[in-house]
Each structure stands twice: as C-alpha cells, then as structure tokens.
A and B are shown apart, each in its own frame.
Chain A
C-alpha cells in the first residue's frame, strides 16, 4: 500500500470516502455509482490541482518516499544482462553504491548508482545509501574499466550525502570524492548522470561530473539538505521547509540555472505510483541522451564535459 504524504491529505480523505461508498454499493441494494463517479471526477481534479501546485518541500517528501524506486529498480526495468561487480580492490565492498555491466538497447554499458534500502534491514546493510570512501573508489574502478572497453557510463544519483563518520574520515572521504571529480573529468567515454531521488552535496557530485545531467521531476540536488541549511543559516532545523524554497534545489530550479539538461517527467503523484511507467520515461531520455553523445570523439567528450562545468557560476566582472 502506497503511503500518502502530508500534502496529499485531502486526496487521501477523498479516496477513503470513495472506497466507503464502493463498499456500501457492493453490500447494499442502493446504487451509488453516480455519486461515486462524481467523487472520482472530483478526485482527479483535486489531484491535478495539488500536483500542479506542488511546492519544493513536497518534492523533497516525494524524493525521500520510502517506496520511491531506487537504482536497482531502474536497473531491473531498463537494462538486460546486468551483472553486479563488487569491491574497490583496496578495502571492501560498499553496498551504498551498486555498479556493474549490462546491455542497453543492445549495447554494452556500465551502470553505477547510489543504493538505498527498502526496509530497515537493507538500509542498515546499505548505510541508507550514504557511501564510505571505498564506495566512491569502487565507482571509480568501474568507470576506468568502462573507459578501457569504450562503454558509456550511466550514473544514478540518490543519496543524502557521503557518510559523515569516523572511519570514512580516516580512509579519506574527501580524497575519494575529489578523485572522482578529477578522474570523471578526463573519461574518454560518454557519461550520463541522472538524479533519481536526493542529490546530496559532494556525495552526489562524486557520481555527477557527466556530459549530460538529467533529473527526475521531483528529485532534488543541493549543496546541503534543507534541514542542514536551516540550522546553519537560521539556527533552526524546523525551518527546513523555508530552506527548501530558498536554496533552489528542485529540477525546474536546476534547469533554470543551466546545470541540468533535461527534466524527466514523473507519473502523477511521484515515481513510486507507477515504477514501470517511470522506468519507461527514464529509458526514453537515456536513449536519446546516448544517441546524442554517440557521435562524439573521446577528445570531444572531454571538451564537452569541460565546457559544461566551466561555465557554471554567477558573478559580475
């Protein structure tokens, strides 16, 4: 059962009423189908109204929805012959990042993405999708492997951020992230990154130095979580809702700033409402994106990535 988010409360109430009436009609002699029809019309109108006026904080809630499709959901739905490849060859295997090789529309491809868990047990195993340095180093190993075999790379970004822990610092969290930014800049194969949920700061960017960046409609990409921003800027984490607006972290915001290429439309109410359809929307954009980059030489790809990031920033001369 899909849970409703706070801003969807009116929808939930209406949906309960409709179900009550349906039960009543089924068990009694009274025919209420006309009333049901009316209520259902009202429901779709209300739904459109609510989702058309969606606020940044509502998007944050959708991006964090426990049932929101993850990297593995999209891998299963979009790619064939996926083989997961583990480990950084130095320290361990960080399950907060999954990676591997697969086939996409008949072409070999490398896929890397943050991986949240779907329940508490899996979340503990995957550290809630917050990688340690070995996760980023695994990602880099797989990128270099892709480069050797001239495979395009697709990255799925979905993390609150790199893990802020003692062991992570000891093993060089900063260096691991920095190294990925640096090495991704020089990759001689097409790189496409898609923010599918939360894009949290440097931990997200470490899979994000791509030729093209796309975002799901309700995904967010930010320098700090709304809660973190609120507590730093206003010393009050409860102002997160206000911070979500002020920090401009939604897909339309990033498109406007020229940081991302495309906004991938989500099914009404968010990706979790229809994972199969959402995967199709994502696949179409990936397919188009790869097509565009296919004709680039390796030098052009590096230049293209350079130009993309070189121009980001707003200042006066």
Chain B
C-alpha cells in the first residue's frame, strides 16, 4: 500500500460529503435571493414583502414596471394605456426588431415604459414607469410617444403626472429619432406645467443619458431612490476625458442631492407615502 492509498478513503469520503452538501443546497431556483451588494441571503418571499429592499444593507433591487404598479397604486385602480404601440425599424438595423420582440416576451410589456391612469390614496394620477429589463430602458419612438401621450392625458385631466425613470438613455438603433423624443416629451411637459399641473419625477437605478437630460430632470419635484445611478455621461467616458479617478459615490442619488440637483432621496418604503403627500398638497382648489 503506497502512501497515496492512505488518503484514498478520505477522498471518497469527501466526495460523498460534497455531494450531500450539494443536495442540501439544491433548493428550487428563486426561493432564496442573494443581495448583490452585501451578499446577504434571504427568502425571495420576504424580499418581495420588503418591496425588494435588502433587509440588511438597504440595497434597492431593480423592479419591473408591473412590480411598481403593485406597490404604488391603490389596489385595482391601475389601467394601462397605449399597450398597442409597436416599435418598427426606421433605420433598418439588423436584428433590432428581433431584440425588441424577445424583450416583449421576457417582460410582458410592449416597450420599455408602462403608462397608465390610477389612484393614489384616492387621488387620480397619470403615471409612466420605465423598465430597465426592456432594452436597458432605452428611449426610442414608442417610449417617447407613450410618455408624451401619458403627459397629454394628465394635462387634459388636470391630474398630476408622475414618472419612474430607469433608462440607459436614447436608443441607438433609432438614431436621431430617439434624440428627438427628448424634445417631444419636453414640449408636452412644458404645456402640462403652463396649465398649472404637477409633475413629479422619481429617478431609479439607472437614469442616464438622454432620459436624464430631458423629462427625468424636469419635475416640479425631483426625487430619487437611494444609491440610484443618475448622470448625463457614462463614468468610463468621463474617466477617459478627465484622466482622473472619480469618487466612489460619483453620480449616485446621494451625490446629486449633495450637489443641489435633487429635492430628496426617498427610500422605496416611504415613496408611496411621500408622493401621496406631495400630491395631496397640490390638489387644486375646487372653485
């Protein structure tokens, strides 16, 4: 018997133990969720109950548009708008429509924003919720059109318009048409504002580029979720231009707040209450 054989038994034992270990953790996928920030593991069920905010480090997980509807509106009041609009391929970019179609299937949305009318503590509001799971929340013609129609509906109803932004910016595949959506949404917001209506912008992770440089920054009140990335230019681009290391918290919601660019950073758990209070304080006198 060689020395090597002495350890053979252990090896087999270990192997068996490992298999057991593996089986122990072989729970169905999705039951547990590990926080990408602090690695804290908790039951997905509990996480959802906590509005997808990590119970240990307060990390705000990304949310789908439908998840936001569920936690934001008075139950059963939300009615979606313009679900029938479809992106086309104006610049004839190869495989663009295939990508859009695959995201329609993945998210259950017709585009990167869900718009609709509903009630918040009994007050009628019009809301647009961007979803970064759909083409990074990028804005092309349909996103611009849906948001503009929602703003126009709010103006007509004299109701507050509220947007949750989540977007990497303008959608490259629609070229300058995407850029012009920044102007389109802004002219609609100007009219909404000129008629004395309220607009609240809530920036969530991430809000950058053309979306940050248009409606996201145009709220009468601009709020953001904690740690959300908000900025005009990408971090890498800036580092290459200025050739210096940027601070850790650069372009976070807290950084913007400190530089006077936000009204408040609001925890997701307090968002509904905060927004409904703001809405209540802006109710037009019924003359």
* B-contact bits for A192-206, CB 8 A (1 contact / 0 none): 000000000110010
A317 located at the interface, meaning its Cβ lies under 8 Å from any Cβ of chain B in the complex? yes
- State whether B142 touches A315 (Cβ < 8 A): yes
- State whether A209 touches B232 (Cβ < 8 A): no
Cα distance, A224 to B93, chains bound together (Å): 15
Cα distance, A177 to B210, chains bound together (Å): 9
| A223-B145 contact given A182-B186, A247-B91, CB 8 Å threshold | no
Task: Give the contacts of A71-111 with B (CB-CB under 8 A).
Answer: none
Extra contacts besides A165-B241, A223-B174, A313-B180 (9): CB < 8 Å: A174-B261, A182-B193, A185-B183, A223-B178, A223-B210, A246-B91, A248-B175, A315-B85, A316-B88
With beta carbons under 8 angstroms apart, the residue of A201, A246, A259, A306 that contacts B187 is A306
* B-contact bits for A165-196, CB 8 A (1 contact / 0 none): 11011111111011101110110000000000
- State whether B85 touches A178 (Cβ < 8 A): no
* A-contact bits for B131-172, CB 8 A (1 contact / 0 none): 000000000011011001000000000000000000000101
- State whether B213 touches A177 (Cβ < 8 A): yes
28 contacts between A and B (CB under 8 A): A163-B241, A164-B232, A168-B233, A175-B261, A178-B186, A178-B213, A178-B216, A181-B186, A182-B193, A182-B218, A201-B179, A202-B210, A202-B213, A208-B183, A209-B187, A248-B91, A249-B175, A257-B176, A305-B187, A310-B148, A310-B184, A313-B141, A314-B88, A314-B90, A314-B141, A315-B88, A315-B141, A316-B88
- State whether B181 touches A181 (Cβ < 8 A): no
* B-contact bits for A238-258, CB 8 A (1 contact / 0 none): 000000001111000110010
Most buried by A among B232, B234, B244: B232
**B interface, how many residues as a size bin?**
35 or more
The 7 closest A-B pairs by CB, nearest first: A164-B233, A313-B141, A181-B186, A185-B190, A178-B217, A185-B187, A174-B212
Interface of chain B: mostly helix, strand, loop or mixed: helix
Cα distance, A221 to B203, chains bound together (Å): 28
With beta carbons under 8 angstroms apart, the residue of A175, A182, A259, A317 that contacts B176 is A259
Interface residues of A (CB under 8 A from B): 162-166, 168-175, 177-179, 181-183, 185-186, 201-202, 205, 208-209, 221-224, 229, 232-233, 246-249, 253-254, 257, 259, 305-306, 309-310, 312-317
Q: How many A-B residue pairs have CB under 8 A?
A: 179
Q: Please name all residues of chain A whose beta carbon is closer than 8 Å to the beta carbon of B215 when the two chains form the complex.
A: 178
Interface residues of B (CB under 8 A from A): 84-88, 90-91, 93, 141-142, 144-145, 148, 170, 172-184, 186-191, 193-194, 209-210, 212-218, 230-234, 237-238, 241-242, 244, 246, 250-251, 259-261
A165 CB to nearest chain B CB (Å): 5
